[in-house]
Chains A and B, each alone.
Chain A
Amino acid sequence: MKALAFLFFIITSSGETWKIVIPEPTWSPLKVKIKSERRELLPELLSLLEFTEFYLFDFEGKSDFEITIKVEEREAIIEIEDFSGKKKTSFVCNLNDPSFSEKVADRIVEETMGIKGYFTSRLVFVSDVKRNKELFTMDIKGRKVEQLTELKKTILGVRAEAECKWISFTLLTGGHSEIYLWKEGKLERFITEPGFKTGLSLSPDGLLAVYTGLENGEPKIFLKDLRSGKSSVLIPSRAPEVSAVFSPDGRKIAYVSEKPGSPAIYVFDMEKKSSERISYRSNYCTSPTWSGDGLFLAYTCLDPTGEMNIYIYEFKNKTERRITGDARSNESPSFYPYGHFLAFTSNRTGNYEIYITDIWGKFLKKLTNSPSNEYEVVWCGERQ
């Protein structure tokens, strides 16, 4: 045992300098001390920061960070001091700002964790709270709910740009479907040609669009050049193909193909013009979505138990793993664009509600709690 411990503890001496190797940190919350000249500013801020599970405020010993909030007339000066002594940041926030706590919490998370815009991010989702399936938006704690559409029809196939500069969706109207684009508060019909069309995704440069259309009565992935207006089938195949989504760099497209006999996740390389199968662990997978850095793909698969679960594919290791389980259906995953967190819908408590988790499925928060069903969530973040 002692010999093993010694091997583990690699220590060598060369001259008068010794060397120690620390294997890995403890993955646990950061210890933070926070004090404010005005106590009433703290409860909301602490509740937001505690929500992330990144921080520990009640602890013994030395802290990783010390946060001080000073108040000068209508402004708060927030100082964040790293225990390393190598970094001290301060910023000013208007006390009358209705998003004061969110903005301060955002900046604290950014300075201490490197994750941007977490609390000012928005979730766009479909809800049947008003009988029809309309588009809504809310903040990360399930508050500040706003209705975006009132089309009195059924919305599905929701996609959005990372910062929600555009939101696309499919509207089912009288037996056929139309693709709409919600952009800067305005709603426009995006593809005017007749026929079944769904699941629009725009390339990051906004010059290309992929969507599902019909060819000889079978669903196929179409690519539309938005400059010329010309559309063509992107991936020639005999199998039905749907749910195409551009990767964050626009070089790849994730989609669902029935090539193996049942729906599976594939990735099409725009340069090599070739496809690679991603999902193998289930015979029925759908709804692929990219992480903001393009390192992960999340999708929903049907397990032998009859439950839908969220799976994560890691491109670096070419591995897929399930992050939800034993809790009825979990669907419609969507990554937070600037971090490794996901929003998804689940009916684990009866009706479909919105939850957030991390890519390991360890962190879990329920955001909505309504008698209605919430579907098709998309997470947008504003780059700070």
Chain B
Amino acid sequence: MNPYIYIPSITFSFLLHLLLFMALSIFPEQKFNSKGYPYAERVITVSIFRTLPPSGGGGKGKIGEEVLKGVKGIDEIPAKVENEEISFEEAIRGILGEGNNEGMTSYAPSYFEGIKRNIMKEWNLPEGVKEQLKGLKCVILLRMRRDGEVLEVKMLKSSGNELYDLSAIRAIKKAAPFSPFPIGIPGEEIEIEVEF
């Protein structure tokens, strides 16, 4: 056995272990569970399943993991809920509303599908003007508050036909107020471009 071969390997291994030891001394409070995730997140993942609508897309496990990964303030939820200051849903909404929206769009499609359905239900025009209005298009900006209240309805692109434009605005206003934002939508307000 040639000692010249072993000496550099042993030295390298020693330095590596020394580095790891130093790192653990600097961050002594960081603990990991068996899955490698922070302990607090696992608790909240379980809690969130209780508040999610049954039709939410993406599968439970996926939602729980993706939605909550790295969310700011997540470790405050159990304490708040335990003291009955807020419900699970409110707690989660409060945190998600602070602007941390990374990976939080899992519920958005079904929510917007609901808005679309409600507007469709209210958008009607009589057959007598079908030929004049068929094929027209207009785009409306809908600004909504977190509780589903409509703040603004603004014509972005007119169809060129007043009757058609007004019928579209009517449909939105009749469909309002909409459901509050689901947990997947961050922020206090959103803007939706509705194309009719």
The answer on a CB contact under 8 Å between A17 and B128 is no
Residue of A nearest to B109 (CB): A11
Considering the complex, give the chain B residue whose CB is closest to the CB of A28: B124
A19 touches B174 (CB 8 A): no
Listed A/B pairs (17) with beta-carbon separation below 8 Å: A11-B112, A13-B105, A16-B190, A19-B192, A20-B192, A21-B194, A21-B195, A22-B171, A22-B195, A23-B120, A25-B196, A28-B124, A29-B126, A64-B124, A114-B162, A360-B127, A360-B130
Q: A28-B126, A113-B163 are in contact. List 6 more A-B contacts (CB 8 A).
A: A20-B119, A26-B123, A27-B127, A53-B127, A53-B128, A83-B170
- Beyond A11-B113, A87-B166, is A53–B126 a contact (Cβ under 8 Å)? yes
A360-B130 Cα distance, complex, nearest whole Å? 10
B193 within 8 A of A: yes
- How many of chain B's residues have a CB under 8 angstroms from any CB in A? 41
User: Using an 8 Å CB-CB cutoff, how does the interface string of A86-109 with B read, 1 for contact, 0 for none?
Assistant: 110000000000000000000000
Tell me which residues from 168 to 196 in chain B have a Cβ below 8 Å from any Cβ of chain A: 168-171, 173-174, 187, 190-196
The reply on A295 being an interface residue by CB < 8 A is yes
Interface residues of B in 136-190 (CB under 8 A from A): 153, 161-163, 166-171, 173-174, 187, 190
Find out whether the CB atom of A64 lies under 8 angstroms from the CB atom of B170: yes
Q: How far is the CB of B195 from chain A (nearest CB, A)?
A: 5
Q: Is B163 touching A114 in the complex (CB atoms < 8 A)?
A: yes
Contact status B115-A84, CB under 8 Å:
no
Q: Contacts A19-B193, A22-B195, A82-B170; is A9 near B113 (CB within 8 Å)?
A: yes
From A83, A85, A339, residue with most partner B Cβ within 10 Å = A83
Residues of chain B at the chain A interface (Cβ within 8 Å): 105, 108-109, 112-113, 115-116, 119-132, 153, 161-163, 166-171, 173-174, 187, 190-196
| B129 with A18: CB separation less than 8 A | no
Given the complex, which residues of B lie within 8 Å of A354, measured CB to CB? none
Residues of B within 8 A of A295 (CB): 131
Q: Which residue in B127, B128, B191 is a CB contact (below 8 Å) of A115?
A: B128
Asked if B125 and A30 sit within 8 Å, CB to CB, the answer is yes
Q: In the complex, what residue of chain B is closest to A360 when comparing beta carbons?
A: B127
Q: A18 with B191: in contact, given A6-B109, A62-B122, A83-B173 (CB under 8 Å)?
A: yes
Shortest C-beta distance, A1 to chain B (Å), equals: 13
A16 touches B122 (CB 8 A): no
**Interface size of A by Cβ–Cβ distance < 8 Å?**
45
Chain A residues with CB under 8 Å of chain B are: 5-6, 9, 11, 13, 16-23, 25-31, 52-55, 61-62, 64, 82-87, 113-115, 295, 339-341, 358-360, 362-363
- Choice from A11, A17, A26 contacting B124 with Cβ under 8 Å: A26
Give every chain B residue within 8 A of A114 (Cβ-Cβ). 129, 132, 161-163
- Looking at the assembled complex, report how far the CB atom of A77 sits from the nearest CB atom of chain B, in whole angstroms: 22
In the complex, residue of chain A having the shortest beta-carbon distance to the beta carbon of B196: A22
The verdict on A25 contacting B127 (CB below 8 Å), with A19-B192, A82-B170 known, is: no
Is the Cβ of A9 less than 8 Å from the Cβ of B166?
Answer: no
A31 to B190, CA, bound (A): 30
Q: Is the beta-carbon distance between A20 and B163 smaller than 8 angstroms?
A: no
A113 to B163, CA, bound (A): 7
Residues of A within 8 A of B167 (CB): 25, 64
Most buried by A among B105, B113, B128, B190: B128
B195: chain A residues at CB < 8 Å are 19-22
B54 → chain A, closest Cβ, in Å?
Answer: 14
Q: How many whole Å from B9's CB to the nearest CB in chain A?
A: 52
CA gap between A22 and B120 in the complex, in Å? 7
Asked if B124 and A84 sit within 8 Å, CB to CB, the answer is: no
* Chain B residue contacts of A23, Cβ below 8 A: 120
Q: Please give me the residue from chain A that is nearest to B121 by CB atom.
A: A26
Q: Please tell me which one of the listed residues B112, B121, B124, B169 contacts residue A30 in the complex, with CB atoms under 8 A apart.
A: B124
